């Protein structure tokens, strides 16, 4: 299935049914009084997080979702039927925001979480509600209120504890294959990974963490180079970032230090708060370096990296393709995650809805014939 992590949709809740103005007319029942029923409520639109869905592809091609209107009230005190609500199923991790203002409304960060995205209109009142001691034959009813209409932006941000960052072909997919059961595509050309992959790393029977492999980021991504910054949003929920560096690039003119600094700079340009997350430096592909040269290559890189202003909380050296050094790394990650507070959900504005006003009151002319009924829509 095609991976889509962004979509724009329009949701329209149903209008409430109009009330009814009618009077009871039966033989031997003089002055039967008002008998107009209320209109039914309009259908609302809900969104629910479903762990069995991992893409927003359904919302890329179907962009408009309409709930039904409520039924009008009827005579003989018959109330109109309320319309059914509709529910949109979305992946866990979807952030719902207002397309026009950019305000974040909801964060579907747990499976089964259900939120209201468009509220249906209230049903109008029939004339039975307007009877009083001084008005025994009320000739008015109220209209149903319109439902909410909204243009929404959907963004999927995967839920993971650890995010992998690095240039294309730095060995991110190979690393996640090595430490988890995930099997992302691996090949010897750039941008083999075109969408995020998740893997569960289990360190013992009761301890595990989720790691996310995102497509590679290159220098100039802020200007749209490569795949741009499109997938960096998937690091927003992570608690720890692993910056993988290829210590043995195929290009003899490549400078791993310059590349590592450039990636850190792209992260800063995209989101300064993302750059402040704990970041570990993982020096990969040691298997391609002769054993007697490895330590010198590592020391030289770290010295130049710090001199160039690079920052990293810790560093590890691994060979992801054969698993060398990965076991101490995953246990260190697990211990670090256990000591960190849980990730906070995306900040959302309170989705405050004003109390929905009652519908317009309609008065029926004294001369109008109400022998049967006057339902909403025929003034």
User: Can you tell me the distance from the alpha carbon of 119 to that of 43, in angstroms, rounded to the nearest whole number?
Assistant: 7
Give the per-residue pLDDT at 252.
Answer: 74
Give the per-residue pLDDT at 168.
Answer: 80
Give the per-residue pLDDT at 358.
Answer: 63
User: Can you tell me the distance from the alpha carbon of 361 to that of 367, in angstroms, rounded to the nearest whole number?
Assistant: 18
Classified as helix, coil or strand, 87 is strand
- Arch. (CATH architecture) of 162-339: 3-Layer(aba) Sandwich (3.40)
Contact 24, 362 (CB under 8 A): no
Tokens, residue 225: 């180079």
Give the per-residue pLDDT at 85.
Answer: 94
Contact 315, 69 (CB under 8 A): no
Give the per-residue pLDDT at 377.
Answer: 47
Classified as helix, coil or strand, 140 is strand
- Class of 6-156+346-375 per CATH? mainly beta
Give the per-residue pLDDT at 14.
Answer: 94
Which residues of the chain, if any, have pLDDT below 50?
1, 189-190, 352, 354, 371-373, 377-379
Which segments of the chain belong to CATH 2.70.210.12?
Answer: 6-156+346-375
H or E stretch including 197? Answer: strand 197-204
Residue-wise pLDDT for 209-228, tens only, equals 888 887 767 666 555 555 55
Per-residue CA distances from 378 to 37, 38, 271 (Å): 15, 15, 57
Which segments of the chain belong to CATH 3.40.50.300?
Answer: 162-339
Partners of 150 in the beta sheet? 11
Give the per-residue pLDDT at 189.
Answer: 47
* Of 142, 125, 193, 138, nearest in space to 165 by CA: 193
* Of 116, 127, 57, nearest in space to 90 by CA: 57
């Amino acid at each position: 299935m095609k991976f889509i992590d962004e979509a724009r949709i329009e949701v329209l809740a149903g209008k409430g049914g109009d009330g009814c103005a009618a009077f009871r007319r039966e033989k031997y029942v003089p002055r039967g009084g008002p008998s107009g029923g209320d209109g039914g409520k309009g259908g609302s639109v809900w969104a629910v997080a479903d762990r069995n869905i991992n893409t927003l592809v359904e919302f890329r091609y179907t962009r408009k979702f309409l709930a039904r209107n409520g039924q009008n009230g009827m005579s003989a005190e018959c109330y109109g039927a309320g319309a059914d609500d509709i529910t949109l199923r979305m992946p866990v991790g979807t952030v719902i925001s207002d397309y026009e203002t950019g305000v974040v409304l909801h964060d579907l960060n747990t499976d089964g979480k259900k939120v209201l995205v468009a509220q249906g209109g209230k049903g109008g009142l029939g004339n039975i509600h307007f009877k009083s001691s001084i008005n025994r034959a009320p000739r008015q009813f109220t209209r149903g209120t319109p439902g909410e209409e909204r243009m929404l932006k959907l963004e999927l941000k995967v839920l993971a504890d650890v995010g992998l960052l690095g240039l294309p072909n730095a060995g991110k997919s190979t690393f996640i294959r090595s430490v988890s059961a995930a099997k992302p595509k691996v090949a010897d050309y750039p941008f083999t990974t075109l969408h995020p992959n998740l893997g569960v790393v289990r360190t013992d029977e009761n301890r595990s963490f989720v790691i996310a492999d995102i497509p590679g980021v290159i220098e100039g991504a802020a200007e749209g180079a490569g795949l741009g910054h499109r997938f960096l949003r998937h690091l927003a929920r992570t608690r720890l970032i692993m910056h993988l560096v290829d210590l043995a690039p195929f290009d003899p003119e490549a400078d791993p230090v310059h590349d590592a600094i450039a990636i850190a700079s792209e992260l800063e340009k995209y989101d300064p708060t993302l750059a402040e997350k704990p970041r570990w430096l993982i020096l990969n592909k040691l298997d391609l370096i002769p054993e007697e040269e490895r330590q010198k290559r590592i020391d030289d890189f770290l010295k130049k990296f710090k001199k160039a202003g690079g920052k990293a909380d810790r560093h590890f050296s691994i060979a992801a393709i054969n698993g060398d050094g990965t076991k101490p790394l995953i246990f260190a990650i697990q211990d670090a995650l256990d000591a960190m507070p849980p990730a906070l959900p995306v900040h959302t504005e309170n989705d405050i809805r004003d109390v929905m006003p009652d519908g317009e009151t309609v008065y029926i002319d004294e001369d109008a014939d109400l022998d049967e009924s006057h339902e909403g829509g025929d003034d």
